């Protein structure tokens, strides 16, 4: 499979990246091709809601969304990777997703496989309830096929994350595809 990871953490060497790198290592060992898009350092503006695209058509904004679009429409799987920010995904990742608006039907018809990788400082059992619900709803709406989630509780810093069981879980998710 061709797998595109949307890396939604602004920290290039943070906890989210640790999970992403382990996922990639596992997936590549199983023969998949993984490309990581560092969306926080790309120029991707928020959707302005004009709907000139009609939910499928050229977007009036010309920016790096074109790169994300061309990658996703030639991939078999998308991985959403984000730190938990106020119990949801990062604004940077949400911005990328809102811009799906202009290729909504194309994305829907691709029936991509998908996964979610996330990290949080909190370790309560409800830490990821809202993010998980959002991800599952998105997958359902856009006709993706969920292949799994790694939700790293108690992963507040890279050293906490490296000591946790979640990098191994991310590796196993990739390896098992």
Site residues (vs ligand FMN, CB under 6 A): 9, 11, 14-16, 83-87, 119-122, 127, 155-156
Distance CA 14, CA 41 (A): 14
Which residue is nearest to ligand FMN, using beta carbons? Answer: 14
The distance of closest approach from Cβ of residue 17 to ligand FMN in the complex, given in angstroms and rounded to an integer, is 6
| Between 11 and 105, CB nearer to ligand FMN | 11
Closer of 15 and 75 to ligand FMN (Cβ): 15
To ligand FMN, the closest distance from the beta carbon of 102 in angstroms equals 27
Q: Cα separation of 64 and 62, whole Å?
A: 7
Gap between the Cα atoms of 64 and 18, Å rounded: 24
**Which of these, 177, 107, 169, 100, lies nearest to 146 by C-alpha position?**
177
Which is closer to ligand FMN, CB of 16 or CB of 65?
16
* Of residues 6 and 107, the one with the C-beta less far from ligand FMN: 6
Supply the minimum distance, in Å, between the C-beta of residue 111 and ligand FMN.
29
C-beta of 137: minimal distance to ligand FMN in Å?
Answer: 19
Q: Around Cβ 136, how many Cβ atoms within 10 Å? A: 14
Distance of CA 47 to the CA centre of its chain: 18
- Residue 76 near residue 3 (C-beta atoms within 8 A): yes
């Amino acid at each position: 499979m061709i797998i595109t990871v949307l890396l939604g953490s602004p920290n290039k060497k943070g906890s989210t990246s640790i999970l992403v790198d382990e996922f990639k290592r596992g997936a590549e060992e199983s023969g998949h091709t993984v490309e990581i898009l560092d969306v926080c350092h790309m120029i991707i503006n928020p959707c302005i809601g004009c709907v000139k695209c009609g939910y499928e058509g050229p977007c009036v904004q010309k920016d790096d969304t074109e790169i994300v679009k061309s990658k996703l429409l030639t991939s078999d799987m998308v991985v959403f990777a984000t730190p938990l920010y106020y119990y949801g995904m990062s604004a940077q990742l949400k911005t990328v997703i809102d811009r799906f608006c202009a290729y909504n039907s194309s994305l829907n018809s691709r029936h991509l496989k998908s996964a979610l990788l996330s990290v949080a400082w909190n370790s309560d059992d409800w830490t990821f309830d809202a993010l998980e619900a959002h991800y599952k709803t998105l997958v359902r709406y856009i006709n993706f096929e969920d292949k799994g989630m790694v939700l790293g509780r108690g992963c507040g810093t890279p050293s906490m994350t490296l000591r946790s069981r979640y990098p191994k879980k991310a590796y196993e998710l990739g390896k098992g595809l």
